[in-house]
């Protein structure tokens, strides 16, 4: 319940924060919402000699849609995402996702940036961002770089972020007309990590699925993008057989570990069931069924 | 191990202290300030017994460092009663028997206060979702929902 | 049978039947409750415990060098230190023995190994982290069936002549006659029913502040305990040889954040803190964190019940037979009455008029934490009722009978009460059919069956589960009940001050049940003093009369009766005082709540307040002054509340998730003191019944590693998972209780799990499913659906 001792820094600018990350190297950890990091420290499961709290850096908590891109600052709290008008109107998949992360109290602190940067395949945003084809902006000592989401999740608790970089923004291409997305999560109770979770974002055109992204939560050491399932539906009319086939592929692609949430067999089947449901919901929202 | 001088406004009063970096906000409130109304019920950020309002938002104070609250506003259960007058949420909990052992109650009430500040007329489902981060073992939640509904209707009268 | 109860007093006096707002609420809603961790004493030290990561291991060495160098750490207490005072082992409440701290061997994961004393909570935690223990893991026994096999390695090598792992064998009933009934039956069905380990997980964990004052030789322990007097006596007996004498021991149970049985046992942490305080001469605070609470404290259930029922082909139940293997952990530390090591399991004949029944329990030692009855279970009644209510449904299914119909057919009829069950209990009163009928009406049973048939035709899964239970609470009569020899009476002491205000102290101890309100209402009922003017205190052994505490729904049946009897004694005295004041004979007086008046001349009257004042100022010659009475109540029998519950569930064929659509609970606890409080208890108990039915279990892998040791994996339902409970009542008073009241708060934890389990099986019965063990997780259901070809 009580963390080991550490040093705490609260830089008020991004350059200051980056300087501290460089200075303390391996023993530094970024503190964003703290809802993943602090629980680990309290159980003395992760060591951190220096906490770099980026929560006081201004300008990282904005949600803006401009030039065909939704820009979410790294420090945007999940609760703010839930309340955002543009998210509610145009990105229901993000609302689906934010509203099932942990519980409402945790969402008042947890940040979207932290949810991605932690590299936990059990977190909910990674699959959604994969389905949305998002990109992540990282700031380091050498400046800013944009990382496509497909390259972002490298391994268990490992992202493409370098130790001296901070995730400052997430960029999501604005969906076209006749778009729809949904995130469906199976959890044992409110507040739990996903037993299985499926994110689907698609757009329709000319009676067929034009664009589609399908990704899974807690289905392996990183979030799983199911390219085969996408290919099965892309360019085709979204009929029951197609949806079932794509969902089955998602079940195949899932490589979950057995734990208290379920056996491998159950979780793979739930990936299938939830993918089908997410596709159906996304189609409904796209006005396509 | 760094120590820090912090200034936290708690229930309207600025509290200054020198604290270890690792001091949890809940311990700062309970032990440094002797405000023991905020309780600890778990060690994995699940139970919500430690809920306080941090800049108006209901927050699990066991998963916030005291240093993170520097310069911020905290409201605890002790700050609900104003000038000898109970907050409608407090009244609702008594009227509708929304508490039994009282241990989860401060956290529940802080969450309820924040809910009613955002949503003046919450449905039963809204209330259940809003308090889904606060565990109770005694009441079975039915009377807690009724307590919040009672408070909502009182607050709409005034 | 009635279902309303008109109060006999007005709202001002607020006696029985009024939904009085709780007198204890004002401090709780202001955050001014005084729980153990709120207590700070001058010079107080903090204790934290090093715990074993292994379920069974030899301790080769405990190296405290680094720990003692941590700033703020003062000492590390280990088994050998306690052994100097013969405190390293202690008796359990079931007269077995338990380690306080080990000398050389640990017997369960999370067992206490040594304790760090420091000047701050944070330093104590750092100290624990710095202790280095050299363990040698040993073979682990976690299967109670394996443990009881001949030739199994003996776990309790500390018991000199023990050659097996049988903690006890217990049985009730006539085995031969029951076997005969089974042999002659038309139909016999059997199921293996397992109730897994669960943990009570009250929102406040356990802890204490032990404060030994060397100058006075007095030990005060502020403690999360449901039974402060019993603890005081046990401490005096166990530690008497180190100079602690019972009149110099004070146990204070302040505000308790939920007990549910989990705060009855004497945990090693308390004893170590007491020893530390005695040795150091300063107050020592020990507060366990949640993971310690879940992983080391007393659990509940863990009963493997092979359950059989015999019937005629028309559904008349003629015999019940249950063989149970009980997993008790490494020692029997359950808080059962001494003659009932399997608690009140022999209530398993339930609501039905069985002519023959036999049950037996074999308890096994395993490498798990000790305990067994700590979760709102009334001493194993949850187990007994789960078995009989599940097997009743299995029988109904076999016979093609509706579950409500088979129950109605077999209920003990009203005329047979007081009813002597074949296993020896005398049920005080009961009227089961109207309660079931009322539940059926409230839920709309017939319409639901129709809906189920329609849904089934479409392949949708919906179930309706019935449970009609009998509870047995109020332990208990001295001829049968004691804990460690202490008889299970309870007490009340009433003193009324000259200005007519009262203070009542009792031997029970509320942990949220509202005693400060309900006992005041009892006194108001009997004496006519407004409940608002009756101060209720419990929990301080220096002032409260001796009692066995609050658990197993015993408070109303014991101390509630004591309060009524003491109040009646005082009313008799008041009558004499009134007669003295009115200059008449006591026989000329009539009583109405709060007032005596002369028969035929109602204007000649004296209020109870007049009488009380006279007890101090103007009493007849020869009368003892003052206005005070106490009563130690030895109940003549237990009380037998009952009820019928109906659950309606819908099952998602894709995920296996069970959703409780509706739940109707009809409870009968006799005459009711405060309907609002009773209803609140039902809501809470139903939720603690839903939890084991669908969510909670405490599992161990083959190495004895706890699999559900935090709230991450020990799943407590939130407000979203919990349905909107629908509750109602019937009222069948207890003929022997002075107020006609029974206990109630554990009925819902007893009745809800079988109702929900029955509903799920009912939803799947057309697929050939006869039984599912709780917790009914989505995966369990999904596996069944897959196997039966019914999954999405």
What are chain B's domains?
3-79 (3.10.20.30), 88-157 (1.10.150.120)
Q: Chain B within 8 Å of C512 (Cβ-Cβ)?
A: yes
Torsion of CA C256, C258, C261, C265, to 10 degrees: -40
Q: Is the ipTM of this complex over 0.90?
A: yes
Q: Do A53 and B64 touch (CB under 8 A)?
A: no
Distance from CA of A30 to the nearest CA of B (A): 13
Looking at residue C279, its pLDDT comes to 93
Closest Cβ–Cβ partner in A2, A191, A273 for C125: A2
Confidence band (pLDDT; 50, 70, 90) for C5? confident
Residue ranges of chain C assigned to CATH 3.30.365.10 = 25-33+490-633, 299-475+637-787
Q: Chain B within 8 Å of C513 (Cβ-Cβ)?
A: yes
**Domain C36-138+206-287 class, CATH top level:** alpha beta
Q: Do A79 and B57 touch (CB under 8 A)?
A: yes
Q: Tell me whether residue A255 is exposed, middle or buried, using C-beta atoms within 10 angstroms of its C-beta: 0 to 12, 13 to 18, 19 or more.
A: middle
- Mutation target for A interface from C116, C721, C779: give the one with most A CBs within 10 A: C779
Where helices occur in C246-350 by DSSP H, the ranges are 268-280, 290-296
Q: Chain A within 8 Å of B5 (Cβ-Cβ)?
A: no
Q: Helix/strand/coil (H, E, C) string of C683-749?
A: HHHHHHHHHHHHCCCCCECCCCCECCCCCCCCCCCCCCCCCCCEEEECECCCCCCCCCECCCCCHHH
Which residues, including other chains, have CB under 8 Å from residue B5's CB and lie 6 or more apart? B16, B17, B18
User: Which residue in B has a C-alpha nearest to residue C719's C-alpha?
Assistant: B128
The Cα–Cα gap between C724 and C662 comes to: 7
Distance from CA of A2 to the nearest CA of C (A): 7
Going from the first residue of chain A to its last (289 residues), give the mean pLDDT of each consecutive group of 10, the final group possibly shorter: 97 97 96 97 93 97 96 98 96 98 98 97 97 98 96 97 97 95 98 98 95 98 98 97 98 97 98 98 87
| Residues of C tagged active-site | 226, 376-377, 746
The answer to whether C726 and C442 have CB atoms below 8 angstroms apart is yes
* Per-residue pLDDT tens digits for C402-434: 999 999 999 999 999 999 999 999 999 999 999
Residues of chain A in Cβ contact (below 8 Å) with chain C:
1-2, 4-5, 44, 103, 186, 188-192, 195, 260, 262-263, 266, 269-270, 273, 277
CA separation (Å) from C30 to B78, B135, C21, C135? 6, 19, 16, 48
The Cα–Cα gap between B49 and B29 comes to: 13
* C25-33+490-633: CATH number: 3.30.365.10
Helix (H, G, I), strand (E, B) or coil at C251: strand
Q: Do A39 and B63 touch (CB under 8 A)?
A: yes
* Per-residue pLDDT tens digits for C713-725: 999 999 999 999 9
The Cα–Cα gap between A199 and A213 comes to: 8
Closest Cβ–Cβ partner in C27, C38, C204 for B41: C204
Give the phi and the psi of residue C129 in degrees, each rounded to 5: -60, -30
Contacts of B22 in chain A (CB under 8 A): 2-6, 8, 41
Residues 148-167 of A with CB under 8 A from B: none
Closest Cβ–Cβ partner in C708, C777, C792 for A273: C792
- Mutation target for B interface from A57, A81, A105, A191: give the one with most B CBs within 10 A: A105
Residue ranges of chain C assigned to CATH 3.90.1170.50 = 36-138+206-287
Q: Do A260 and C707 touch (CB under 8 A)?
A: yes
Q: Do A189 and C715 touch (CB under 8 A)?
A: yes
pLDDT mean over C37-66: 98
pLDDT mean over C764-792: 97
> How many CA atoms, within 13 angstroms, populate the side-chain half-sphere of residue A65?
14
Q: Helix/strand/coil (H, E, C) string of A12-47?
A: CCHHHHHHHHHHHHHHEEEECCCCCHHHHHHCCCCC
* Per-residue pLDDT tens digits for C292-302: 999 999 999 99
Q: Do A38 and B57 touch (CB under 8 A)?
A: no
Contacts of B136 in chain C (CB under 8 A): 203, 684, 719
Distance from CA of A4 to the nearest CA of C (A): 7
Distance from CA of C19 to the nearest CA of B (A): 10
C697 vs A289, residue with greater confidence: C697
Looking at residue C390, its pLDDT comes to 98
Looking at residue C2, its pLDDT comes to 65
Cis status, amide bond into C418, omega within 30 of 0: yes
User: Which residue in A has a C-alpha nearest to residue C292's C-alpha?
Assistant: A1
Q: Chain B within 8 Å of C119 (Cβ-Cβ)?
A: no
Q: Do C710 and B97 touch (CB under 8 A)?
A: no
Contacts of B139 in chain C (CB under 8 A): 680, 683-684, 687
* Per-residue pLDDT tens digits for C518-551: 999 999 999 999 999 999 999 999 999 999 999 9
* Per-residue pLDDT tens digits for C205-240: 999 999 999 999 999 999 999 999 999 999 998 888
Contacting partners of chain B (3+ CB pairs under 8 A): A, C
* Per-residue pLDDT tens digits for C137-179: 999 999 999 999 999 999 999 999 999 999 999 999 999 999 9
What is the value of pTM for the model shown? 0.98
Looking at residue A288, its pLDDT comes to 61
Confidence band (pLDDT; 50, 70, 90) for C241? confident
Q: Do B63 and A109 touch (CB under 8 A)?
A: yes
Render the burial of B5-26: b for 16+ CB within 10 Å, e for the rest: ebebebbeeebebebbbbbbbb
Looking at residue C305, its pLDDT comes to 98
Residue C608 has pLDDT above 90, yes or no: yes
DSSP, res C263 = T
State both tokens at A216: 């899974």
- Mutation target for B interface from C51, C128, C200, C719: give the one with most B CBs within 10 A: C719
Give me chain B's average pLDDT, please.
97
Q: Do B59 and A109 touch (CB under 8 A)?
A: yes
Closest residue by Cα to residue B64 from B37, B92, B45? B45
Looking at residue C790, its pLDDT comes to 94
The Cα–Cα gap between A7 and C12 comes to: 61
Residue C256 has pLDDT above 80, yes or no: yes
pLDDT mean over C95-113: 97
Q: In which order are the strands placed within the sheet that holds C658-668?
A: C461-470, C642-651, C658-668, C726-729
Which of 1.10.260.40, 3.40.50.261, 3.40.50.300, 3.30.365.10 would CATH assign to domain C299-475+637-787? 3.30.365.10
**CA–CA–CA angle A160, A162, A165 (5° rounding):** 115
Q: Do B137 and C688 touch (CB under 8 A)?
A: yes
Distance from CA of C530 to the nearest CA of A (A): 43
Contacts of B77 in chain C (CB under 8 A): 29-31
User: Which residue matches tokens 């809603």?
Assistant: C29
Per-position DSSP letters for C577-634, written without gaps between them: HHHHHHTS-GGGEEEETTEEEETTEEEEEEEHHHHHHHHHHS--TTS--S-EEEEEE-
Residue C1 has pLDDT above 80, yes or no: no
User: Which residue in B has a C-alpha nearest to residue A37's C-alpha?
Assistant: B63
């Amino acid at each position: 319940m009580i963390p080991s001792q550490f040093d705490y820094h609260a830089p008020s600018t991004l350059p200051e924060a980056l300087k501290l990350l460089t200075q303390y190297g391996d023993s530094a950890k970024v503190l964003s919402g703290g809802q993943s990091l602090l629980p680990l420290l309290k159980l003395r499961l992760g060591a951190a000699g220096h906490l770099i709290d980026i929560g006081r850096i201004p300008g990282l908590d904005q949600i803006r849609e401009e030039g065909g891109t939704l820009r979410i600052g790294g420090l945007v709290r999940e609760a703010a995402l839930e309340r955002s008008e543009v998210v509610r109107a145009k990105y229901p998949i993000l609302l689906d996702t934010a509203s099932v992360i942990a519980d409402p109290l945790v969402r008042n602190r947890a940040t979207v940036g932290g949810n991605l940067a932690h590299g936990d395949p059990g977190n909910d945003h990674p699959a959604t961002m994969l389905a949305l084809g998002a990109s992540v902006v990282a700031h380091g000592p050498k400046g800013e770089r944009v990382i496509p989401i497909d390259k972002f999740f490298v391994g268990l608790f490992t992202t493409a972020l370098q130790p001296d970089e901070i995730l400052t923004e997430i960029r999501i291409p604005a969906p076209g007309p006749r778009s729809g997305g949904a995130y469906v999560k199976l959890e044992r109770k409110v507040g739990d990590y996903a037993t299985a979770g499926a994110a689907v974002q698609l757009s329709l055109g000319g009676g067929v699925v034009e664009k589609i992204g399908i990704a899974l939560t807690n289905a392996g050491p990183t979030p799983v993008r199911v390219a085969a399932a996408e290919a099965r539906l892309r360019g085709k009319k979204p009929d029951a057989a197609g949806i079932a086939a794509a969902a089955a592929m998602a079940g195949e692609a899932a490589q979950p570990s057995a734990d208290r949430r379920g056996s491998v067999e159950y979780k793979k089947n739930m990936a299938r069931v939830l993918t089908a449901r997410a596709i159906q919901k996304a189609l409904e929202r796209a006005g396509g069924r | 191990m760094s120590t820090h001088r912090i200034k936290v406004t708690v229930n309207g009063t600025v509290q200054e202290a020198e604290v270890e970096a690792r001091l949890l906000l809940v311990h700062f409130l309970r032990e440094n300030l002797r405000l023991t109304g905020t309780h600890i019920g778990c060690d994995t950020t699940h139970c919500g017994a430690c809920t306080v309002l941090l800049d108006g938002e209901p927050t699990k104070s066991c998963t916030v460092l005291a240093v993170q609250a520097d310069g911020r506003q905290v409201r605890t259960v002790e700050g609900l009663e104003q000038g000898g007058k109970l907050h409608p949420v407090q009244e609702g909990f008594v009227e509708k028997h929304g508490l039994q052992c009282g241990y989860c109650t401060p956290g529940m009430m802080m969450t309820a206060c924040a809910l009613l500040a955002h949503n003046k007329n919450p449905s039963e489902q809204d209330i259940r979702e809003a308090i889904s981060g606060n565990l109770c073992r005694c009441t079975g939640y039915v009377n807690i929902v009724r307590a919040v509904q009672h408070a909502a209707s009182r607050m709409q009268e005034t | 049978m009635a279902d309303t109860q008109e109060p006999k007093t007005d709202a001002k006096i607020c006696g029985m039947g009024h939904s009085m707002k709780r007198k204890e609420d004002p401090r709780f809603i202001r955050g001014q409750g005084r729980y153990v961790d709120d207590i700070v004493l001058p010079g107080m030290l903090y204790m934290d415990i090093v715990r074993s990561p292994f379920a069974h291991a030899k301790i080769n060495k405990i190296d405290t060098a680094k720990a003692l160098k941590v700033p703020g750490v003062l000492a590390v207490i280990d088994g050998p230190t306690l052994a100097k005072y013969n405190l390293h082992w202690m008796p359990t409440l079931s007269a077995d023995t338990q380690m306080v701290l080990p000398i050389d061997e640990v017997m369960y994961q999370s067992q206490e190994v040594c304790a760090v004393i420091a000047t701050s909570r944070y330093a104590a935690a750092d100290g624990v982290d710095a202790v280095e223990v050299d363990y040698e893991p040993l073979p682990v026994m976690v299967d109670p069936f394996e443990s009881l096999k001949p030739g199994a390695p003996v776990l309790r090598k500390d018991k000199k002549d023990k050659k097996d792992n049988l903690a006890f064998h217990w049985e009730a009933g006539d085995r031969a006659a029951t076997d005969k009934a089974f042999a002659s039956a038309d139909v016999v069905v059997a199921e293996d029913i397992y109730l897994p380990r669960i943990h009570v997980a009250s929102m406040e964990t356990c802890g204490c502040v032990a404060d030994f004052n060397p100058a006075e030789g007095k030990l005060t322990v502020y403690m999360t305990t449901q039974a402060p007097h019993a603890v005081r006596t046990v401490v005096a007996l166990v530690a008497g040889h180190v100079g602690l004498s019972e009149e110099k021991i004070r146990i204070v149970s302040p505000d308790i954040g939920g007990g549910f049985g989990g705060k009855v046992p004497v945990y090693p942490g308390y004893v170590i803190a007491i020893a530390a305080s005695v040795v150091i001469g300063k107050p020592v605070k020990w507060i366990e964190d949640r993971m310690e609470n879940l992983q080391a404290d007393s659990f509940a259930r863990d009963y493997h019940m092979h359950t059989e029922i015999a019937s005629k082909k028309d559904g008349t139940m003629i015999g019940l037979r249950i063989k149970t293997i009980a997993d008790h952990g490494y020692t029997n530390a359950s808080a059962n009455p001494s003659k009932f090591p399997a608690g009140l399991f022999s209530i398993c004949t339930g609501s039905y008029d069985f002519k023959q029944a036999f049950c037996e329990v074999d308890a096994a030692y395993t490498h798990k934490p000790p305990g067994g009855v700590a979760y709102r279970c009334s001493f194993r009644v949850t187990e007994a009722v789960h078995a009989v209510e599940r097997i009743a449904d299995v029988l109904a299914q076999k016979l093609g009978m509706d579950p409500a119909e088979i129950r109605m057919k077999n209920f003990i009829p009203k005329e047979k009460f007081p009813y002597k069950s074949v296993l020896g209990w005398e049920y005080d009163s009961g009227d089961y059919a109207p309660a079931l009928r009322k539940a059926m009406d409230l839920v709309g049973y017939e319409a639901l069956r129709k809906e189920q048939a329609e849904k089934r035709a479409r392949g949708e899964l919906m179930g309706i589960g019935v449970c009609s239970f009998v509870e047995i609470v109020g332990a208990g009569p001295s001829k049968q009940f004691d804990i460690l020899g202490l008889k299970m009476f309870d007490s009340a002491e009433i003193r009324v001050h000259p200005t007519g205000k009262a203070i009542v102290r009792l031997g029970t101890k509320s942990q949220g049940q509202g005693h400060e309100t309900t006992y005041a209402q009892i006194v108001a009922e009997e004496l006519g003093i407004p409940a608002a003017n009756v101060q209720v205190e419990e929990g301080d052994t220096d002032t409260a009369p001796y009692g066995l505490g609050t658990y197993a729904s015993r408070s109303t049946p014991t101390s509630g009766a004591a309060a009524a009897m003491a109040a009646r004694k005082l009313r008799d005295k008041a009558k004499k005082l009134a007669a003295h004041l009115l200059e008449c004979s006591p026989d000329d007086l009539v009583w109405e709540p709060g007032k005596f008046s002369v028969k035929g001349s109602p204007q000649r009257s004296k209020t109870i307040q007049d009488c009380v004042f006279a007890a101090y100022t103007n009493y007849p010659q020869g009368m003892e002054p003052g206005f005070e009475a106490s009563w130690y109540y030895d109940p003549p029998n237990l009380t037998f509340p009952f009820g019928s519950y109906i659950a309606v569930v819908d099952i998602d064929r894709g995920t296996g998730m069970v959703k409780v659509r509706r739940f109707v609970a009809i409870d009968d606890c006799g005459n009711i003191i405060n309907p609002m409080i009773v209803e609140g208890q039902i809501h809470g108990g139903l939720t603690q019944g839903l939890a084991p039915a669908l969510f909670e279990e405490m599992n161990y892998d083959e190495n004895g590693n706890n699999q559900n040791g935090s709230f991450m994996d020990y799943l407590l339902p939130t407000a979203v998972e919990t349905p909107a409970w629908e509750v109602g009542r019937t009222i069948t008073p207890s003929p022997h209780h002075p107020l006609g009241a029974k206990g109630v708060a554990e009925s819902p934890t007893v009745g809800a799990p079988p109702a929900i389990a029955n509903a799920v099986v009912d939803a799947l019965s057309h697929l050939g499913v006869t039984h599912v063990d709780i917790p009914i997780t989505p995966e369990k259901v999904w596996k069944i659906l897959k196997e039966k070809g019914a999954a999405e």
